Amino acid sequence: MRIAVLNGPNLNLLGQREPEVYGRTSLNEIESMVREAARPMGAEIQWFQTNHEGALVEAVQGLQDRADGALINAAAFTHSSLALRDALLAVRIPFVELHLSNIFAREPERRHSVIADLAVGMVTGFGAQSYVLALQALVGRLRAA
């Protein structure tokens, strides 16, 4: 089973960036956690991070036939990017939306996601652990399908 993990803008700064909101775990450490959790599940991880909206759109377009499902933390693009939404509508890959922080407990502009209704489900608010929980949820869903 091939799982793509797509990370949006500023997530490369995790660990140093607003640690009181996002925690002290770096994105590299989260990648290691996800790869380790994926191994016993027999899942192969394709890891990607970008600060650019177009690159994220192209990464979604590239998922067709390359991944069975995706974990997506679109970061700030979650709240604004119709281009990302359109790419997910075009590709129609099963994905779990995830966030480190609980977006519903934050500023009003972060409480809306333009991709949430397209997702299998959402994991939000568990810090770095959100990635592992989202992986478990997605693999479980794909196995059941």
**Site membership for ligand DQA, residue 75 (CB under 6 A):** yes
User: For residue 37, what are its two tokens?
Assistant: 């959790």
> What is the closest distance, in whole angstroms, from the C-beta atom of residue 145 to ligand DQA in the complex?
26
Nearest Cα neighbor of 95 from 127, 61, 142, 43 is 142
Judged by beta carbon, residue 49 or residue 67, the one nearer ligand DQA is 49
Judged by beta carbon, residue 28 or residue 64, the one nearer ligand DQA is 28
Instruction: Give the catalytic positions in this structure.
Output: 22, 99
Kindly tell me which residue out of 4, 72, 100, 135 binds ligand DQA, with binding defined by CB under 6 A. 100
> What is the closest distance, in whole angstroms, from the C-beta atom of residue 74 to ligand DQA in the complex?
7
Phi and psi dihedrals of 45, rounded to 5?
-100, 130
Q: Any idea what DSSP says for residue 65?
A: T
